[in-house]
Chain A
């Protein structure tokens, strides 16, 4: 027994290779870049992913209309398009595709691939789990198609429609978001507070009351409701989202929904008829009818019509949501909208149009891409491949870098930054990154329904110490939500000011801090999350005298609590998708999918719309700055710091310059042989 065991042990130990060269030395000879990439990607379908690590791989595989300049922010080089011309007001863009551009199976990349891709990403099918379709809302009617806004699709695009859309659009198509029917549960009409009453008042006539239990029931039958109840119910849904039976009922009493007085009775009937007809026809796909602003003029000319002037469109087309997917391959493995169950992205199936193509994909092990022989700019590509390694443990990653196993790390944990500064002074990079760390505040609950309390909490955060003592990665205190870049001038409202914070708290009516309600700070269960939370806790204790409890939850629970607004304060972050302030501002519109604070302001949204319709860049930036000022005035988010990237890179890797979005184009990267 003993003998066999030891023999076996020896035999297994003898089974080792005798390679003495390091991984990097071998890779340098093979001209392959080895990259630490944090985690196993959720997928490689550019339409279905939303993470940074997936984008690192997708950027090597696919190519959009324009390509990042390797050394200059906000500058675009030709990609799938050779050249592009905007109209004078930046609402119409013509992209001339490169006739030499090919998919990795040799099939040409055409304008039809782009129209197919944009139709696919914008698909209104609820089974289509694309997280990033909003990126295509820049296209005219893109949002209408994606959100099935029937009124707009059937009436605005019809040149013979008797009423101008500008007038008709004021009717309640999208539903009154202020009415939350489930908030009426267990309440009586007479108990409603002034603010709540205010929201439903527009739908009530003098002296009318409603039965709130009926309105908050799980299943509501229209026939059981009184007229005022019907009015509240239907207006909370909006014309676009009513089902067929509700519409048929509405036809008999169109006045139950708010049309505004400018819409004549016959037009009301016409709108309802058109939507009913659509339901009766079995809800056919509306792509043709919706007239989304993407047209293939011919095989190699793509015309984009936008919802308003977008002078920075080239910037946006570099985001992976704007990349084309191969129509012929996607359709050969499933339907247009077959999501994760489609095997088209698996090795052997996937075909891409970028500088590289997929070679190997092993779960939790590695993804390797190799040079795409059909790539149009084949000669520029220097690397013969890239190996992405999903290293979840960043300490291991740093050790692997030290052992010459990686060219490039995903990050450096903040505890190791002082070590890295000393040991790898030439390899460590600390660069600005358009991202912001902040705290969301649940503005629905007391005491944070009071903007003064929120502002007091914001001003009591000693941002500088968090950056310098905890993070040590060159992060900068955030005076707002939009990090500084390009021509944008941040309003710079939030600065550490404990005196003012105390004064604001006193003004807010919470004189004695001991009477302050219990507050939880929601964070993730990571070590860095805890350190940050403890620092914040100490700062509020010291500067405001308020003791905040830390609530650590693991990732999915943390996210769910946030979406459910089941928190008081919650840490969060946002990374810009493109270089424009709107990527940081649009999420704060009322009930935006990532707002989660309960805050909303018409003034703020009007400013955003105004900016959306402004072509002149400096004016636009000024308006956006005003919008941010408006947001910070109410402080539904407490800015903490602006992100930086910290990573290690070997000196032989060339053409890797600092970029604000950290989206380095791999096609230009070179490994310099010693």
Chain B
């Protein structure tokens, strides 16, 4: 167990290092100037700004400086949102995305897993087909279609819900539902697959032959192994969903983290992009580790190996 955790942590460190290194050079290769504005920037101003943010130094030096600062806990200043630290931007927006992400993840699980189980139990029957049509639709219909539909069909007639914003307690509902669809759809497909696989196993057939009630077979014997693919998926999905979604935040006016990813790139905000990638990489490592640990608990075979 400890070995798994340690090796995972080590892997995470390597992955994050490579990720940041790649991103560092990739964002600088994008054409465009972080200091370009509606009003012209004079060459002197440009030089002064570059010096202020350390962009005047050769790229390898900048790269080393970046790691030096990160080790001291300094992610640098945002280049586009001047005067604001990358760490402040992340710490302001992450709690919002975390709250929204956790709710939509639970919603997704609450919808997706039962849907998958039903589909597997009624394999090749209408229940299966309709569950899979819903799941397919959940994957295909993107948030920028779903979001406005929800706004117009649910929020507008309902005085309880606002179209967009992040001020009332209820403002979380529509973005959470919009976000949960993708997760639910994948989970339904994965759970169905896992369940079908398990239900065809010999030990299930034995249990059936012994006369164990169907409900008991599912909850006691089939459920745990059937959910393993879903749990594997949930690790990275968790990291992705709690770091926000640009589209959902844009439509529902959520002050979350997802928009920073996109706007960081479009405004050539090198420091912001790197800070986000670093943060996301670490989260992804942790989430993968958690899902590994969960798998070990779920599968005795893995526990012993």
Contact = CB atoms under 8 A, between A and B. Distances in A.
A384 interface: no
Interface string A399-420: 1101101000000000000000
Given A23-B162, A43-B82, A556 B103 contact: no
B161 to A, nearest CB: 9
A363 B89 CA distance: 8
Interface string A17-49: 111111100000000000000001011000010
B163 to A, nearest CB: 4
Given A40-B81, A556-B32, A594-B39, A362 B169 contact: no
A365 B32 contact: no
A5 B109 contact: yes
A342 B77 CA distance: 13
A559 interface: yes
A2 interface: yes
Given A16-B170, A40-B81, A556-B34, A2 B106 contact: no
B300 interface: no
A593 B42 contact: yes
Interface stretch (B46-54, B63-71, B130-138): B46-54
A9 B36 contact: no
A560 interface: yes
Contact of B31 (A339, A345, A391, A560): A560
A395 B148 contact: yes
Interface string A153-183: 0000000000000000000000000000000
A282 interface: no
Nearest to A19: B168
B255 A365 contact: yes
Contacts, number: 159
A339 B227 CA distance: 55
B179 interface: no
B267 interface: yes
Size bin of chain A's contact surface:
35 or more
A364 B34 contact: no
Contacts of A425: none
Contacts of A51: 38
A399 B160 contact: no
Interface in B34-89: 34, 36-42, 44-45, 47-49, 52, 77, 81-84, 89
A16 B151 CA distance: 17
Nearest to B117: A2
Contact of B110 (A5, A40, A127): A5
A420 B188 CA distance: 41
B165 A593 contact: no
A340 B39 CA distance: 17
A396 B173 contact: no
B113 A12 contact: no
Interface stretch (B7-15, B17-25, B197-205, B245-253): B245-253
A145 to B, nearest CB: 15
Nearest to A21: B159
Contacts of B113: 1-2, 5
B179 to A, nearest CB: 13
B259 interface: yes
B165 A16 contact: no
Interface in B168-194: 168-170, 173, 176
A445 interface: no
Interface in A591-640: 593-594, 596
A389 interface: yes
B214 interface: no
Nearest to B164: A396
B38 A559 contact: yes
Given A340-B82, A563-B40, A20 B110 contact: no
Contact of A131 (B39, B83, B155): B39
A400 B164 contact: yes
A107 interface: no
A510 interface: no
Interface string B221-243: 00100010000000000000000
A12 B99 CA distance: 10
A71 to B, nearest CB: 29
Nearest to A556: B32
Contacts of B44: 126
B259 to A, nearest CB: 7
B42 A393 contact: no
A237 to B, nearest CB: 13
Nearest to A557: B32
A213 interface: no
A366 B92 CA distance: 13
A341 interface: yes
A392 B52 CA distance: 29
Contacts of A362: 92, 255
Contact of A402 (B41, B49, B156, B266): B156
Contacts of A366: 167
A456 to B, nearest CB: 28
B41 to A, nearest CB: 8
Given A18-B160, A50-B38, A396-B163, A43 B83 contact: yes
A209 B263 CA distance: 52
A341 B83 contact: yes
A13 B180 CA distance: 13
A262 to B, nearest CB: 31
A555 interface: yes
Contacts of A341: 77, 83
B152 A391 contact: no
A547 B253 CA distance: 41
A117 B259 CA distance: 35
Nearest to B43: A126
A252 interface: no
B93 A364 contact: yes
A129 interface: yes
Contacts of B114: 2
Contacts of A403: 151, 155-156, 162-163
Q: Which 8 A-B pairs have the closest CB atoms?
A: A593-B40, A340-B83, A340-B82, A365-B255, A559-B36, A556-B32, A557-B32, A16-B170
Interface of A: 1-2, 5-6, 8-9, 12-13, 15-23, 40, 42-43, 48, 50-51, 126-127, 129, 131-132, 339-343, 345, 362-366, 389, 391-393, 395-396, 399-400, 402-403, 405, 553-557, 559-560, 563, 593-594, 596
28 contacts: A5-B109, A5-B110, A17-B169, A18-B160, A23-B162, A43-B83, A50-B39, A127-B48, A129-B41, A129-B82, A132-B39, A342-B83, A363-B81, A365-B166, A391-B253, A396-B252, A400-B253, A403-B155, A403-B162, A403-B163, A405-B164, A405-B165, A554-B266, A556-B32, A556-B33, A556-B268, A563-B41, A596-B40
Given A362-B92, A399-B151, 10 more contacts: A1-B227, A12-B103, A43-B82, A131-B39, A340-B82, A364-B259, A553-B31, A554-B32, A556-B36, A596-B40
